Amino acid sequence: MSLNQVLFLLAGAVIGLLLYRQLSPGRRLKSCGVRQVGAGETLELIKRQKAVVVDVREDREYRAGRIPNARHIPLGQVRFRLKELERYRDKPIVVSCRSGRRSASACLFLCKNGFSNVYNLKGGLIAWQRANMKMES
């Protein structure tokens, strides 16, 4: 491999890393105004501000256990069921999934559609359960 090829590959790797960091979900959430919240903060939002929890996991995951009173809208249906969330536009909306990745996508979608009080449950239901928070089935 020539020196030019090595330098070209290195430059490509650096550019790729920079793009990845710029486009990473956490950075995109922040730029859109979505906050990452832990289990304790989520519980406080529910208790003090009557936050609505939207669970974007698949049906079988949701049936296995969820945050009490969570609304179920699988990620693939969020764009088609946006009207269901319109009545919560003025309330905090905490979006949850298993690990926080699918919920991050849903948060971005809500933000891009004019919802300004959106939170992502950091670590998802995995973090919720690790914090020994109440679940319902």
Domain 33-130, CATH homologous superfamily name and number: Rhodanese-like domain (3.40.250.10)
Q: Phi/psi of residue 66, each to 5°?
A: -155, 170
- Please tell me the predicted confidence (pLDDT) of residue 20: 55
Q: For residue 9, what are its two tokens? A: 């590959």
Give the closest residue to 31 by CA, choosing from 41, 39, 21: 21
With H, G, I as helix, E, B as strand and everything else as coil, classify residue 127.
helix
Q: Tens digit of pLDDT for each residue in 7-65?
A: 777 777 777 666 555 445 555 566 678 999 999 999 999 999 999 999 999 999 999 99
As given in the structure block, the two tokens for residue 7 are: 């330098």
Q: Which residues are catalytic?
A: 97
Identify the pLDDT of residue 29: 67
- The model's pTM is 0.80
- Rounded Cα distance, 45 and 52, in Å: 9
78 — pLDDT class (breaks 50, 70, 90): very high
